[in-house]
Structure 1
Amino acid sequence: MALRQTYLSMKSKLPPGAETVLVMRGRGNDDLAPAEELFHEFSELKGEFVPGCGYPSAIHYAWEKSDYERRFRSQIRANPRALARLKELADRATTRDIFLICYEGEDKPCHRHLLLEIAQEEFGAIVDPRPFRPAGDPNSP
């Protein structure tokens, strides 16, 4: 049992009984989503991406140019409600799998990965950072 992560299109493929927590804005867990300012800046920077500029994708470009990781970590650590929610999830993940879910696929940077790291750093959460693979997937562990 662990705190895990995946993306929205995999939600229907999760094992029965797996708990899911949508960590996108407007899905009931806004404390665990990027602040509107960061989200909008990130989105604008994705639109400025020019292929061949040294980044593999618009998301990678925007992630670095917005200083996303540092800003998101600061946002979460400065928000007592976000930390309390992460602690609650970390505690419950000792007895069941809990999946943090967002839009970005596994090959892109995403704040849900940072949430797992913060939960592990702050609360000693049991974390399984491996990408979720449905049963029968040839890439399943």
Structure 2
Amino acid sequence: MERRTGHCQCGDIAYEVLGTPDDPHLCSCEHETRISGGPAVLWVGFHKNGLKWTGPSGEPTWFATYPTLKRGFCPRCGTHLVSVANGSDTVMVTGFSLDDRSGTDPVGHSFREEAVPWMNITLAPDPCASQPAAP
């Protein structure tokens, strides 16, 4: 099984995820732009059971930014690392916290209509669109 690692800016919070990256996408919702200070955040999904915290400080500090969503941040440097929706089997990691970003080209852009007007995005081809239809 594929294994990737990632960490915050200061290195106190580190993680590994197992599996193939799923649903890499940008998000320009109000939460992401305020938290990141940028026009979008790149999210990459992995199965929640494949996430392991490996840094010296263990798990991140959790903060609920929406009634059904919690996000993990490094309490020391403030890096935004993960997002988990209630009841989901998927954990979304911030794409740029990954050490290896191969295969994480965004295939979608959530809240595109809220993106700043000067932002121009070219999305990767949807990998599901190239698969043959089921019989």
The TM-score, its normalising length taken from structure 2, stands at: 0.23
The TM-score, its normalising length taken from structure 1, stands at: 0.23
Q: Which has the higher contact order (CA 8 A, sep 6+)?
A: 1
Query: Which of the pair is proportionally richer in helix?
Result: 1
